[in-house]
């Protein structure tokens, strides 16, 4: 059921992109860009911007810090239950190129590696334990919540988010190019910087 819905959404997305690209191609453009494949390249750039994947992840993290006073260790800790949405995609400013072979009607598209572009998290504090000599402070909550967001991003990577982002981008670009009568060859340049959200 989920796969069928995903396929339907991809097809609808490709159809919308094809219509938008058709509109671009049908518009009057300056002589300098009217010839060749400039409108196709711009359409593929817009497709690449849309190539994001979102997954929901959940995790449980225990945070603990210990303060030593004289010879006594005084701990404070809390268990954080995390749930959120992590989005993977591409930073086109990190390196995106499209080289068009007009004669063969082939586009050579190069993308940077996908990365985490956003983390939308919900953190539930549970089982908090601290003492008056080492209380849990607002600063602790801010810092621990930041670590928790990082944990969600790592969990999303472990769940294959980046691979899904890459596959989704290839599928969108190839299908959109085909709808416009072109063939696309998509390459991921692993030497380029991977975008990462700052959770």
Q: Which helix (H) or strand (E) holds 109?
A: strand 106-111
pLDDT value of position 74: 87
Cβ(197)–Cβ(119) under 8 Å? Answer: yes
134-184, pLDDT tens digit by residue? Answer: 888 889 888 888 888 888 888 899 999 999 999 999 999 999 999 888 999
Mean per-residue pLDDT for 86-93? Answer: 90
**HSE of 164 in the Cβ direction (CA atoms, 13 Å)?**
15
DSSP string, 158-195: HTTHHHHHHHHHHHHHHHHHHHTT-EEEEEE-TTSPPP
Q: Are strands 106-111 and 97-101 parallel, antiparallel or unpaired?
A: antiparallel
Task: Convert the pLDDT of each residue in 26-79 to its tens digit.
Answer: 333 332 233 456 778 888 888 888 788 999 988 888 888 888 888 888 888 888
Q: Which residues contact 43 (CB under 8 A, 6 or more apart)?
A: 17, 20, 21, 24, 176, 180
Q: How confident is the model at residue 85 (pLDDT cuts 50, 70, 90)?
A: very high
Give the number of other CB atoms < 10 A from CB of residue 147: 12
Asked whether residue 86 carries a pLDDT value surpassing 60, the answer given is yes
Please give the model's pTM, rounded to 2 decimal places: 0.65
Most confident range (mean pLDDT) of 18-27, 73-82, 186-195 is: 73-82
Contact 107, 40 (CB under 8 A): yes
Torsion region of 70: left, alpha or beta (phi above 0 gives left; psi -120 to 50 gives alpha) = left
């Amino acid at each position: 059921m989920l796969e069928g819905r995903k396929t339907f959404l991809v097809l609808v997305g490709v159809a919308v992109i094809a219509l938008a690209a058709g509109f671009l191609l049908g518009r009057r453009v300056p002589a300098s860009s009217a010839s060749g494949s400039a409108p196709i390249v711009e359409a593929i750039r817009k497709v690449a911007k849309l190539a994001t994947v979102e997954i929901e992840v959940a995790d449980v993290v225990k945070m603990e810090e210990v303060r030593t006073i004289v010879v006594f260790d005084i701990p404070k800790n809390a268990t954080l239950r995390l749930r959120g949405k992590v989005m993977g995609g591409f930073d086109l400013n990190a390196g995106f190129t499209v080289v068009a072979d007009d004669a063969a009607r082939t586009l050579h598209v190069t993308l940077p590696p996908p990365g985490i572009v956003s983390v939308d998290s919900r953190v539930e504090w549970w089982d908090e334990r601290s003492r008056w000599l080492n209380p849990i402070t607002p600063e602790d909550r801010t810092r621990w919540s930041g670590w928790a967001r990082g944990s969600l991003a790592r969990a999303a990577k472990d769940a294959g988010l980046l691979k899904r982002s890459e596959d989704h981008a290839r599928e969108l670009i190839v299908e959109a190019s085909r709808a416009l009568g072109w063939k696309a060859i998509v390459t991921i340049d692993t030497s380029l910087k991977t975008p990462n959200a700052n959770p």
